[in-house]
Chains A and B, each alone.
Chain A
Amino acid sequence: QVQLVESGGGSVKPGGSLRLSCAASGFTFTDYYMSWIRQAPGKGLEWVSYISYTGDIIHYADSVKGRFTISRDNTKNAVYLQMNSLTAEDTAVYYCAIPRRQWGQGTLVTVSA
């Protein structure tokens, strides 16, 4: 069945970096755009970024533009989110998702001094 497994979350100081990974299986990876979505503690959902089938179309939320980079490796069925210059406002559970379909279990990113 469809599985999305995120990894790479953790605690980091403000200004630090993290790289999230999402391993996909159970479907034809290259048939789908992929997204990253986050949910801050006690808050609603915020779309972060998406990437097209081959990676030629990418968009970011204004809140992360210039700091986050999404990428995918279709040979490994994986999507990544490189997060730089992290602030406390980036603290959230980050989900990898097939837009409007399956989501992963999420990985927690905590930015704190």
Chain B
Amino acid sequence: QSALTQPASVSGSPGQSITIPCTGTSSDVGGYNYVSWYQQHPGKAPKLLIYAVSARPAGVSNRFSGFKSGNTASLTISGLQAEDEADYFCDSYTSSNTLDVFGTGTKVTVL
């Protein structure tokens, strides 16, 4: 099972919006509406931002939004803030025996 493809890094200025793509196949991202996004600060546990493609857990800022088109899911961070500087990764259900496949991870830098 190959990892989902994410850009290694994305950057933006405070207040800007950035979008992180996560590309898979019809066996994972494209085939099911079970894509999650996580934020991970250095040395910390991953924090769930988005589940089921676009749903936000209670307490997560509405600056984070999710979307899917075909085999690519995307996370958009609006109104970029310094605290958003972290690693982000996607996670999709897959029809393979692994149940989950993860993205390669994207480092977000706030300029």
Contacts and interface: CB of A to CB of B under 8 A. Distances in A.
A45 B89 contact: yes
Given A44-B3, A44-B105, A104 B99 contact: no
B99 A44 contact: no
A7 B89 CA distance: 24
25 contacts: A33-B99, A35-B99, A37-B102, A44-B105, A45-B89, A45-B91, A45-B105, A46-B102, A47-B98, A47-B99, A47-B102, A50-B98, A50-B99, A59-B97, A59-B98, A59-B99, A61-B98, A95-B45, A95-B46, A99-B93, A100-B35, A100-B51, A100-B92, A101-B36, A101-B51
Interface of A: 33, 35, 37, 44-47, 50, 59, 61, 95, 99-106
